[in-house]
């Protein structure tokens, strides 16, 4: 098992997400891989929570802190004119 749910029940959404990741890891052992160094980060984005929306979209990306820093650097360079 790779994922260890550590968020306390009082943390609400973080607890639910962490628990869901642990369940996924239990049923799909090859989906997650261990992180030997550094921190693991989960970033999320949401859209469609307004009256006119016909769909809601939830997206999550799981990566290490170092990978996040590289991604931020690369993505910000793509937006420069």
Specify the pLDDT at position 79: 64
Specify the pLDDT at position 54: 94
Specify the pLDDT at position 21: 87
pTM (two decimals): 0.53
3-class DSSP string for 10-77? HHCHHHHHHHHHHHHHHHCCCCCCCCCCCCEEEEEEEECCCCCCCCCEEEEEEEEHHHHHHHHHHHHH
pLDDT in tens, the chain (81 residues): 888 787 888 988 888 888 988 999 999 988 887 877 778 887 888 899 889 999 999 888 888 888 889 988 888 876 655
Specify the pLDDT at position 32: 83
């Amino acid at each position: 098992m790779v994922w260890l749910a550590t968020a306390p029940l009082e943390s609400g959404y973080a607890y639910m997400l962490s628990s869901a990741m642990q369940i996924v890891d239990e049923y799909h052992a090859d989906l997650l891989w261990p992180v030997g160094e550094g921190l693991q980060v989960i970033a999320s984005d949401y859209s469609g929570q307004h009256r006119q929306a016909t769909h809601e979209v939830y997206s999550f990306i799981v990566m290490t802190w170092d990978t996040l820093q590289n991604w931020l650097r690369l993505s910000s360079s793509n937006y420069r004119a």
